[in-house]
Chains A and B, each alone.
Chain A
Amino acid sequence: MTTIRLTVNGQPIEAEVQPRTHLADFLREQQLLTGTNLGCEHGICGACTLEIDGAPARSCITYAIDCEGASIRTIEGFDGDAPMAALRAAFSTEHALQCGYCTPGMLVTARDIVTRLPGAPEARIRKELSGNLCRCTGYAGIVRAIRAVMAQSGTPSGPGLASVRPVAPTAP
């Protein structure tokens, strides 16, 4: 067991972890945050996608012990977040979920798309969704919901591409 310190949904956490415990299990089993679902545990399906330091990441192939100092945001941590609120509403309106198992990971990815690529055309939206599998909806409602949120925020899904850029690598 090793002690790690990190932030989960805005709360500083200090916890004992086994090195082999992946981030999703740490959150689900130790922090009782079960909104992050496990679909494959080998990085393909995207069900476990959450935010690490503001960017979507796979929690099943990230080990909690390697998250020292990181800021984690799970599906439980988006209260008051305007893009997520808009996406949640649009997901319901557009029937973008059925069984609900892929939904938390899908929402985190969708939020990344609408904030990072406002105005992205449908083909780009679909490419960005390629790392999140859904077995129920055929993606039709999911794509519609993302486009609807882009339209609401004044950046309708179209040919234009903009980029909100995260942190650059440091210079020496």
Chain B
Amino acid sequence: MKAPAFDFTQAQSVPDAVALLADTARFTKPLAGGQSLGPMLNLRVAFPEHLIGVRQIEALRHAFIDPANGELVLGAAVRHAQIEDGLIPDVTRGLLAHVAANIAYRAVRNRGTVGGSLAHADPAADWVNTMPLLGARIVVAGPDGEREIDARTFMTGPFTTALDEPELLVAVRVPALSDAARWAYVKFCRKPGEFAEAVGGVLIDRPRAVGRLLIGATDGAPVVLEAPTELLAASSTDSQVAEHWTDDRLRAAINAAGIGHDPYVAQLHLTMARRAIVAALA
């Protein structure tokens, strides 16, 4: 079980990486932590001809709060373990660290990166579900500079994203939650570290007019349900927001996502969504 032959170039900077990725003569892919791509290479289900190492690009290793808007700018090469260990500024009242601590195994978290996981876009992975829940924006760099993509539209299907070639995912901008924000992120895995069979996420942050429920680990992009604006008024309560997500609405969303035909899968997603609601209000 050995990888097929490929070339490797260590990129020195983001422009360098973008330029290397622009080579259309060969099938070229970025390699970050390699924790998803590595297995695919060894199993010979991916056959890139040229891998561009981006893990060591200095600009991708930053994590800081943007003084302009208080957002967390999370460099694409920040590793899960760094988030787990609280080594990045937290604007999410612990959500990012909670999610990070339950990705795969520690040895994988030590190497796997936020950007790599997002770009890989496995529906069962955690950041592709967490970032839409948070309303984050994905920053990508191309030949003509950077652009931002709403995380809720970043993933376009299983293992596919809104990244255009030769764009490189460089950072995630995570908005700061208010002090009143309540969240939950629950997932069902057969074993710790295994890919989730269902993810439920809830974020209620009325001061920022956010009431969001996420159904993740679907067959494609996660389902994001936004609570009606009127429920997010100052006079309402978090419970009222939560009550909006009735079983009927959740089932309809599950069916709309195309995963309702399998009763077990549908039930798991319903259970996770309900438990996320309960946990967020707890």
Contacts and interface: CB of A to CB of B under 8 A. Distances in A.
Judged by CB atoms under 8 Å, the answer to whether A and B touch is yes
Contact of A41 (B1, B75, B81, B82): B1
A170 B58 contact: yes
A43 B62 contact: no
B104 A131 contact: yes
Nearest to A18: B5
A52 B55 CA distance: 14
Nearest to B7: A19
A28 interface: no
The number of chain B residues touching the other chain, given as a range, is 35 or more
Given A41-B1, A43-B38, A170-B58, A58 B107 contact: yes
A165 B85 CA distance: 7
Contacts of B6: 19-20
Interface stretch (A61-69, A75-83, A141-149): A61-69
B34 interface: yes
B4 interface: yes
A66 B31 contact: yes
Interface in A96-150: 109, 112, 127-128, 130-132
| Most central of A43, A66, A165, A169 by chain B CB within 10 Å | A169
Interface string A25-68: 10000000000000001110010010010011110111101101
Interface stretch (B13-21, B39-47, B142-150, B206-214): B39-47
Contact of B108 (A43, A66, A163, A166): A43
Q: Which of A41, A165, A167 has the most CB of B within 10 A?
A: A41
Interface string B193-222: 100000000000000000000000000000
Q: Which of A20, A61, A68, A170 has the most chain B CB atoms closer than 10 A to its own CB?
A: A61
A127 to B, nearest CB: 5
A133 B117 CA distance: 24
Contacts of A62: 34, 38, 111
A152 interface: no
Contact of A169 (B88, B108, B193): B88
B78 A22 contact: no
A49 to B, nearest CB: 5
A43 B82 contact: no
B56 to A, nearest CB: 8
B89 to A, nearest CB: 9
A109 B108 CA distance: 12
Contacts of A163: 85-86
A57 B64 contact: no
Contact of B10 (A68, A166, A171): A68
Contacts of A68: 10, 56
23 contacts: A19-B8, A20-B2, A20-B4, A20-B41, A22-B38, A41-B42, A42-B1, A52-B110, A55-B110, A56-B110, A58-B35, A66-B34, A66-B53, A109-B107, A128-B106, A130-B105, A130-B193, A131-B106, A163-B86, A166-B82, A168-B87, A169-B61, A169-B78
Given A55-B81, A127-B192, A172-B59, 12 more contacts: A20-B2, A20-B6, A22-B42, A42-B43, A57-B107, A61-B35, A61-B38, A62-B34, A62-B38, A65-B8, A168-B82, A169-B78
- Ordered nearest first, which 8 A-B pairs have the shortest CB separation? A131-B105, A61-B38, A42-B39, A19-B8, A168-B87, A169-B63, A55-B110, A20-B3
